[in-house]
Amino acid sequence: MVATLLAPARPSPADTARWYDPEHETLPREQLAALQLLRLRETVTRAYRQVPVHRQRMIAAGVEPEDICRLDDVARLPFTLKADLRDHYPFGLFAQPVEQLARLHASSGTTGKPTVVGYTHDDLNTWAELMARTLHCAGARRGDIVHNAYGYGLFTGGLGMHYGAERLGAVVVPISGGGTERQVALIQDFRANVLCSTPSYALAIAEVAEQQGIDLRQGALRVGLFGAEPWSEAMRREIESRLGLRAVDNYGLSEIMGPGVACECEARGGLHGWEDHFLFEVIDPETGAPLPEGASGELVITTLTKQALPMLRYRTRDISRLASAPCACGRTHVRLLRVTGRNDDMMIVRGVNVFPSQIEAVLFGRPHLAPHYQIVLERRGSLDHVTLEVEAAFGLTESEYDNLARDVVHHVKSAIGITVEARVLAPGAIPRSQGKAVRVRDLRPKDA
């Protein structure tokens, strides 16, 4: 009884407003569409006048800015690919001279040049607003202590969250990634309410806390904003139960802005994509044809307000679905159903299409396994061979590993229909991420 009375109460949010920016977040859909059309026309005109690459492409496709009369006309515009940013490295797609910008970010690709993105002061202001909206949508409030473990630097995660949290009126702890023991100590000592990190790093934090005998569930954490990599519902349950917070999915990409493009609300029926600033489409990745609402395909995004780097029909390679039916939270913006993975990450195992997140969903929560895994792809003869490396939980003897591995093979086969090899490894054998986890080690020959 005494212990219950003395248990530290979770601080109730200082701010009980349902929305951060009600005027825009609850705009009726017809008005939202009218605003989008206005902004689309401005963006297309800006790109046409100020970015030679876009102008040449539009001329080649036989479309002029004046031809954009309805939102559907967006489908007449050519796509922009990640390769275009690389081919016009570093500033070739910018609509403003670089000396007029306020910031550059970049993401390192696995091969070749990084992709560089730029922001004017206005762009940074919009980004901070959208990030504040995103944090509020996830359940963060003014006065909260936000422990921001996204990497600071060229990656958009750290600074994107940082300025959004400040704009919201929260108190930011700009810890960045790494130094996990210190992260645990500061979360506890500062009584952080909100954790921002990749989902895989959140689990690494939980693990280190447990090893140190610290129960973060007894602390002040209330909400976690997790994104920047695909994660499953099983991983959400794992994080929530080990950190004692509500784990919220949020999506974004540097080519479009960074974090702050879409976020889950309390209804958890998908991630609201901020349609006053972005136009979302889903296309068939093979043919490029637009797909009807509700169909699963590649997400394509056009920016509606970006000044420095307007993006026309950017092919994200991410697989999602759109839903525009009313949401219980009152926000009118379209929902992106959880991004299950990237087109590039899809494996075809004997004709079956598989995403790493499907494998994760099978592994997580299984007894005696720890939630750390990697998928190794090899070429054996003419066939792809998949080995799952997954860690055993603490306290098992190695003689039990073989049985566990057989169990994994069986469950993957019955849930996904593919045959894999499984190797159960000792606790700690899989490298921990401080940012985006590496889930797939592709050892297949490069020309495959």
**Which residues of this protein are in contact with ligand DLL, per CB under 6 A?**
107, 150, 156-157, 227-230, 249-254, 258-259, 316, 318, 339, 342
Nearer to ligand DLL, 37 or 437 (CB): 437
Nearer to ligand DLL, 164 or 219 (CB): 164
- Torsion, Cα 420 426 427 430, to 10 degrees, reads -50
Query: Residues 43, 71: contact at Cβ < 8 Å?
Result: no
E strands present in 274-382: 278-283, 297-303, 314-320, 322-323, 335-336, 341-342, 347-349, 352-354, 369-380
What is the C-alpha to C-alpha distance for residues 364 and 169, in angstroms, rounded to an integer?
Answer: 36
Nearer to ligand DLL, 43 or 357 (CB): 357
Nearer to ligand DLL, 188 or 316 (CB): 316
Please give the structure tokens belonging to residue 424.
């159960």
What is the C-alpha to C-alpha distance for residues 21 and 272, in angstroms, rounded to an integer?
Answer: 14
Nearer to ligand DLL, 180 or 357 (CB): 357
Shortest spacing between CB 291 and ligand DLL, in angstroms: 18
Shortest spacing between CB 436 and ligand DLL, in angstroms: 7
Shortest spacing between CB 108 and ligand DLL, in angstroms: 9
Nearer to ligand DLL, 57 or 105 (CB): 105
Please give the structure tokens belonging to residue 207.
């693990």
Nearer to ligand DLL, 230 or 310 (CB): 230
Shortest spacing between CB 315 and ligand DLL, in angstroms: 10
Cα radius of gyration (the chain): 23
Query: How many residues does this entry show for the chain?
Result: 448
Shortest spacing between CB 66 and ligand DLL, in angstroms: 32
Please name the residue ranges forming H helices in 212-314.
233-243
Nearer to ligand DLL, 90 or 427 (CB): 90
Shortest spacing between CB 85 and ligand DLL, in angstroms: 11
Q: Residue with CB nearest ligand DLL? A: 227
What is the C-alpha to C-alpha distance for residues 378 and 259, in angstroms, rounded to an integer?
Answer: 33
Task: Specify the DSSP class assigned to residue 79.
Answer: P
Shortest spacing between CB 101 and ligand DLL, in angstroms: 18
Amino acid making up residue 345 = D
Q: What are phi and psi of 169, to 5 degrees?
A: 100, 20
Shortest spacing between CB 356 and ligand DLL, in angstroms: 11
What is the C-alpha to C-alpha distance for residues 318 and 399, in angstroms, rounded to an integer?
Answer: 40
What is the C-alpha to C-alpha distance for residues 344 and 355, in angstroms, rounded to an integer?
Answer: 10
Count Cβ atoms below 10 Å from residue 162 Cβ, excluding itself.
21
